[in-house]
Amino acid sequence: MKHPLLLPILLLGTVSALRLENDAPHLESGGTQAELSQDLEDSWEQEGQLALTEEAIQSEADEAEAYGYQDDFEDGEAMESDPAALDKDMDCPREEDTVQWQGSPGCKTCRYLLVRTPRKFRKAQRICKRCYRGNLISIHSYNFNYRIQCLTSGINQGQIWIGGIIRGRFLCKKFYWTDGSSWNFGYWAPGQPGNGKGRCVALCTRGGQWRRTRCKRRLPFVCSF
């Protein structure tokens, strides 16, 4: 009489085993999806970190290039007290390589000199100081900017150095003129200065607009004295 009772028990155990066996792949599949989701999140996080790292590297590279110039510029300022250091490897422009004119609406006695021979920004500033006891030109009005643009439009160069530079880092960056005058005017090209590269300012000989330019470029320049 006991044998008929064993049959339902065996059948129930078989059904339970089959149910557990069928459920096992679903549990395993759920674990795999979770792992895939986590892998995707890790991948997105890594890509985001990589993009931020690349942006930081580019920013540091720009700062390094810029501060390489700033250190050189400050060294040049310090060398003013050492005439021998200033004279070393320093030749003044030949007269045939320059164009001079005199007077402006704000300064009738001022003189200006276009040097056609391209130089890096720091070298151009040093030439203005040593050879003419002046500085790279500063510009404080649209009319004067237009005059400079007209007088330089005939040279075979797209840009010339003017005396604008950026000093400071990150949010403390400010524009200055090398002659120490106030920064009270700007005539920037579209997208400038925010999207510009470099810490020195060049004037476009076509249109007269300004662009940030890397200080190591060699460009003609205008001295004022």
**CATH code at position 189:** 3.10.100.10
Same domain, residue pair 25 and 84: yes
Q: Are residues 98 and 64 in the same domain?
A: no
Do 195 and 100 lie in a common domain? yes
Q: What is the mean pLDDT of residues 123-131?
A: 97
Distance CA 21, CA 167 (A): 72
Query: Considering only CA atoms, which of 76, 98, 77, 78 is closest in space to residue 89?
Result: 76
CA–CA dist 204, 193 (Å, integer) = 14
- Is the CA virtual torsion 65, 70, 75, 77 positive or negative? positive
CA-only gyration radius of the chain, Å:
35
- Predicted confidence (pLDDT) at residue 98 exceeds the cutoff of 90: yes
If asked whether residues 174 and 161 sit together in one domain, one would say: yes
Q: In this structure, are 165 and 72 located in the same domain?
A: no
Q: What is the pLDDT of residues 140-174, one digit of tens each?
A: 999 999 999 999 988 989 999 999 999 988 778 89
- Greater pLDDT, 7 or 212: 212
Query: Which of 88, 120, 147 marks a domain boundary?
Result: 88
User: Is 199 in the same domain as 217?
Assistant: yes
Does residue 127 share a domain with residue 53?
A: no
State the total domains in the chain. 2
Question: Which of 53, 88, 123 is a domain's end point?
Answer: 88
C-beta separation of 114 from 136 below 8 A = no
Residue-wise pLDDT tens digits, 73-82: 444 444 444 4
Query: pLDDT-based confidence at 17, cuts 50/70/90?
Result: very low
Q: What residue numbers bound the domain in which 199 lies? A: 91-224
26 and 122 co-located in one domain: no
d(CA 206, CA 117): 19
DSSP 106: T
For the chain, the average pLDDT equals 75
> Are residues 106 and 189 both part of a single domain?
yes
Q: Are residues 32 and 100 in the same domain?
A: no
Distance CA 141, CA 65 (A): 30
The pLDDT of residue 88: 54
How many helices (H) and strands (E) in the chain?
A: 4, 8
Cβ atoms of residues 136 and 128 within 8 Å: yes
Rounded distance, CA 135 to CA 222, Å? 9
Q: What is the pTM of this model?
A: 0.63
